[in-house]
Amino acid sequence: ILDNNQDNKDILDNKNILDNQDNKDILDNKDNNKNILDNNKDISDNKNHTTNNNNNNNVTVSLIYDGSHNSCRVEEYIINGINKEVLVYRKGVSYGLEVGNKKLCEEYKNIGQPIMVGGSMGTYSYIVCIGNKGVFNSCCHGSGRLLSRKEGLKRYEGEGVVKEMERKNIVLRCSSVKGVGEEADGCYKDVVGVVEYSDRMGLTRRLCRLKPLIVIKGIVSNKDELV
């Protein structure tokens, strides 16, 4: 892609992207960057979230993993034999470090940085790491939607989705039964196929498969409609 597509090469070679004063001001603005980091830290530090189950007993859920859906980072890569600093924008794509990367902690140096690849509410999810053909240290973020949220609500009735979750012995907590339809399993691609294909292409390497036990959709409070 980089060798054959002149447009892509021009973009990567265009120093104006990084030299542009507006972009430089954004990257160099320590106050703005500090505010962003502080806000993210506040969110990350709030690791315990409490909700209520049907018996009105408090249930504490601890955050053990968090990943950005959209991000933009300044990173260094060797492109056409030249070490370059580029802005990498990831939309619905996860960032991870490959096996042996010097930035990894000792625990992950031999397996790579663990990355979550989510399925739908009622299907498997995976923990993977970057494969041997990692593209800008990136991999799939999830299985990906087949239907828009609007189409999902038209096609899947909330109560039916709730019953299907019960049949699979998956506990569901949500703020709206009607809104559950937009997250029905049929709204998403087959995560097993997505991850297997990604593995075959060398983009990821599977570490383990996860089965859902509890699903929380939306912000659940005492006033919300609990399933």
Question: Which residues sit in the known binding site for Mn(2+)?
Answer: 69
Per-residue tokens: 57:
């007993």
Residues contributing to the annotated binding site: 69-70, 118-121, 125, 141-144, 217
141 catalytic residue (yes or no): yes
213 DSSP 8-state letter? S
Dihedral sign of CA atoms 210, 121, 67, 173 in order:
negative
Residues contributing to the annotated binding site for GMP: 69-70, 118-121, 125, 141-144, 217
219 backbone dihedrals φ, ψ, rounded to 5°: -90, 120
Among 90, 97, 140, 141, the active-site one is 141
SS (H, E, C) 123-145: CCEEEEEECCCCECCEEECECCE
Q: Which residues pair with 214 in a beta bridge?
A: 171
Q: Which active-site residues does the annotation give?
A: 141
